[in-house]
A = this chain, B = another copy of it.
Amino acid sequence: MSSTTGRIFKATTFGESHGGGLGVVVDGCPPRLPLSVEEIQRDLDRRRPGQSQLTTARTEQDKVEVLSGLFEGYTVGSPVAMLVRNLDARSQDYQHMREIYRPSHADFTTEAKYGIRNWQGGGRASARETIGRVAAGAVARKMLSVLANTEVLGWVSRVHNIQLDPFSDLNYSLKQVESSPTRCPDSAAAAEMGEAISEAKQAGDSLGGVVTCVARNVPAGLGEPVFDKLEADLAKATLSLPAAKGFEIGSGFGAVSLTGSQHNDEFVSDADGAIRTATNHSGGVQGGISNGETILLRVAFKPTATIASAQKSVTRQGEAATLEAKGRHDPCVVPRAVPLVEAMVCLVLADHWLRQRTVDVLEGLPPS
């Protein structure tokens, strides 16, 4: 029950870091959506390893094959199945993991749950599982773009103790984000962050950070008032990413420092007569439902659990042991987490967009 997300726009991922391949089946994407393999590959290229000095040395081309669901450049309503082969899998790199549990990894808990573990890599807990998410997210992104001109963009707003002013401009562009390997759109901060990551790598250590993500042009009315609040689904989606530890919508934890009169977003009419809010502490969502303002969220990622330095741990039998990691890894996952956060946000919004289609069916029959 674990590998599917979404109620209507559904993505089911499969595959492990080692084995025949990874991928995803996207079910529920509307037919007649123009879609090309290149659009999917573009997002995959943003997540793949080996993009810069700051990421893991594992080099995977991660070329996607669309197995089904496309015909003459359009979706046809059948599942869009996508496959990426594992090519640079080196099982021998993981021999040390066979007996010793890696701290703050999923080795121990995977065995606690399943009673068995594919020790050749991280199994489903591997960051490679996110390939399927990004491929599915690319389809969702395209749908949102065509249907509502919605744009989802994330960036690195913090690495360790280097952070952007949270009150800074949120109008960054994809070009600004992609102009640095850290994916921080502020060039000065980006340089600092890159340096910090390099230093951590040098020291055999790792860093965490925060990804900020916005969704622009989200129509009002998406979300649900109770369990499936839009912010709740966004929280679940992003907290399901490897290494995520915290989530905020709008003002987030910062809301606690304000009083109600400071925090409330007053309604105003704009020049076109549209009802807007004067501030956006709500982060684009009120009572679980989008209000038409920009959706704003932040996700905290812990420092990469795999570090080059020796660590104390225990064997499967509980005996003390020292672990010296040999697998390839990122000293800071946050730059590569940006397309992952975007993909999850796209999947949530696409699902809720379609859900809303089942709500506004009596639009032409106003009660009064």
Is the C-beta of A171 less than 8 angstroms from some C-beta in chain B? no
Query: Complex Cα distance A123/B27, Å?
Result: 15
Write the nearest CB–CB distance from A301 to chain B, whole angstroms: 7
B-side contacts of A222, CB under 8 Å:
113
Q: Which of B76, B101, B113 contacts A77 (CB 8 A)?
A: B113
Query: Complex Cα distance A258/B243, Å?
Result: 13
B-side contacts of A22, CB under 8 Å:
68
Point out which of A112, A205, A207, A287 has the most chain B C-beta atoms below 10 A from its C-beta.
A287
Indicate if the CB atoms of B313 and A253 lie closer than 8 Å. Answer: no
Indicate if the CB atoms of A124 and B206 lie closer than 8 Å. Answer: no
- A28-B1, A307-B261 as given contacts; A109 in contact with B146, CB under 8 Å: no
Interface membership of chain A positions 209-233, coded 1 if the CB is closer than 8 angstroms to chain B and 0 otherwise: 1100000000011111111110111
* Closest chain B residue to A30, Cβ basis: B361
Question: How many identical chains are in the complex?
Answer: 4
Interface residues of A in 173-217 (CB under 8 A from B): 200, 204-210
Is the C-beta of A319 less than 8 angstroms from some C-beta in chain B? yes
Is the C-beta of A304 less than 8 angstroms from some C-beta in chain B? yes
Binds B, one of A42-50, A53-61, A267-275, A335-343: A267-275
Indicate if the CB atoms of A79 and B12 lie closer than 8 Å. Answer: yes
- A245-B248, A252-B300, A357-B361 as given contacts; A27 in contact with B12, CB under 8 Å: yes
Query: Complex Cα distance A301/B263, Å?
Result: 12
- A1-B224, A67-B21 as given contacts; A123 in contact with B78, CB under 8 Å: yes
Write the nearest CB–CB distance from A130 to chain B, whole angstroms: 9
Query: Complex Cα distance A354/B358, Å?
Result: 5
7 A–B pairs (Cβ distance < 8 Å), ordered by A: A13-B79, A15-B81, A101-B267, A113-B360, A125-B225, A161-B256, A246-B246
For the complex of A and B, the 4 pairs showing the least CB-CB separation, nearest first, are A106-B287, A2-B224, A206-B260, A236-B236
